[in-house]
Structure 1
Amino acid sequence: MTGLGYTLPAVVAVVAVLVLELRVLRTGLFRRPAYWISMVIVLGFQIPVDGWLTKLSAPIVIYDEKHTSGIRYPFDIPVEDFLFGWAMVTAALLLWVRGRSRNRDEETT
């Protein structure tokens, strides 16, 4: 089956992080401008680096195309890289925000 090897886990990672925030942690991170600014900063670094690593003219990282969606944008970057990147960075930020909230709660008791 095309796309299951990399695409399906990438989509599952995004859904898992969304569920983690919207149903479990409820930190309100997605409502914070600082979060969205951080995502722009991440993309500002991810696009040139990932584009250099995955460019089809001289790839350093080679993907088996039968395991991806085949969608590459921009600079030949598989869209799955953006999904995994978003899930990883967002999960780290969610856990960080949650940890800070718990530390503050402990300090006040």
Structure 2
Amino acid sequence: MSGLGYALPAVLAVIAVCVWELGFLRTGLFRKTAYWMSIAIVLGFQIPVDGWLTKLSSPIVIYDEQHTTGVRFPFDIPVEDFLFGWALVTAVLLLWERQRVVRKEKS
């Protein structure tokens, strides 16, 4: 099935991070303005760098299009990159937030 090789793990990563936060950690990170500002900052760097790396006119990183959805936006960036990026950054921020809460509870 076309598009599942990269897209499916990307979607599953997003779902796993959401389930981890909403079902287990419950840090409230998604309700914090600072979190969404952090995501905006990440996107501010990810878009130009990822766009440069994946531009179809002269790609540095080449994806097997059989394993992506084929949707590229903006600057030829495969949308799956944004899903993986969000899951990675959010998972790290959740770990930091959880650690902060645990340390606060101990003191």
Q: Distance in 2 between matches of 1:12 and 1:26?
A: 19
Aligned to 1:7: 7
TM-score by length of 1: 0.97
Matches within 5 A, 1:65-104: 65-104=65-104
> What CA RMSD, in Å, does the superposition of the two structures yield over aligned residues?
0.5
Unaligned regions of 5+ residues in structure 1, if any? none
Following superposition, the deviation at residue 105 of structure 1 comes to 1.1
Aligned to 1:40: 40
Runs of 4+ with deviation above 4 angstroms: none
TM-score by length of 2: 0.99
Q: Say how many residue pairs are matched.
A: 107
Amino acid at match of 1:62: I
Amino acid at match of 1:68: T
Aligned to 1:22: 22
Aligned to 2:55: 55
Following superposition, the deviation at residue 104 of structure 1 comes to 1.2
Could you tell me the percent identity over the aligned residues?
73
Q: Distance in 2 between matches of 1:23 and 1:44?
A: 30
Unaligned regions of 5+ residues in structure 2, if any? none
Which SS does the other structure have where 1:5 is aligned? Answer: helix
Q: Distance in 1 between matches of 2:23 and 2:73?
A: 31
